């Protein structure tokens, strides 16, 4: 996928999920130099944290990361501030042997997806892991989560 296509597809597929959580697009970097290959990152801002959706040409992966406000808009794989974190980083890991984990993943139907499939999969990934990661990021960096309940 070309970077400009990734940027458009990421906004179309993930934009509604992110705007529903209070995020707005802050910046697009469609020329992340990965040693001669070029990836892309979209940075989203909310009132109390940031998200980035990225495509790595080097790793051939699409993923999402979370960071506290004030973090640099730098592709997470190359972030020297170490403030960008993968969402599942804050959730308990399954206590399974490698064989059990492989079996479980096969039963879940995990397969190699194209870039658009990976973007679609990120919607569920955000739904599953964001709340815990969001709370932990705010605790770790000294902020309290904002309450967006009924007013």
10-27: per-residue pLDDT in tens? 999 999 999 999 999 999
pLDDT (0 to 100) of residue 112: 65
Residue 50 lies in a domain: yes
Residue 151 lies in a domain: no
105-148: per-residue pLDDT in tens? 676 655 567 878 889 989 999 999 999 999 999 999 977 544 44
Residue 60 lies in a domain: yes
Residue 147 lies in a domain: no
Q: How many separate domains does the chain show?
A: 1
Element housing 51 (H / E): strand 49-56
58-105: per-residue pLDDT in tens? 888 889 999 999 999 998 778 888 999 999 999 887 788 888 878 876
**Tokens found for residue 79:** 């972030």
pTM metric for this prediction: 0.83
Cβ pair 32, 39 in contact under 8 A: yes
Domain span at residue 32 reads 3-140
Residues forming beta bridges with residue 24, ordered by sequence position:
45
């Amino acid at each position: 996928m070309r970077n400009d296509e990734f940027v458009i597809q990421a906004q179309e597929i993930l934009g509604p999920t992110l705007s529903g959580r209070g995020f707005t697009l802050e910046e697009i970097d469609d020329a992340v130099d990965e040693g001669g290959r070029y990836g892309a990152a979209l940075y989203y801002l909310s009132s109390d944290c940031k998200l980035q959706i990225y495509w790595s040409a080097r790793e051939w992966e699409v993923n999402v990361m979370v960071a506290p406000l004030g973090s640099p808009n730098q592709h997470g794989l190359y972030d020297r501030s170490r403030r960008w974190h993968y969402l599942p980083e804050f959730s308990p890991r399954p206590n399974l042997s490698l064989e059990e984990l492989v079996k479980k993943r096969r039963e879940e139907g995990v397969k190699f997806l194209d870039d658009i499939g990976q973007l679609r999969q990120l919607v569920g990934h955000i739904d599953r892991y964001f709340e815990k990661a969001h709370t932990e990021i705010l605790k770790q960096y000294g902020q309290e989560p904002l309450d967006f309940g009924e007013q």
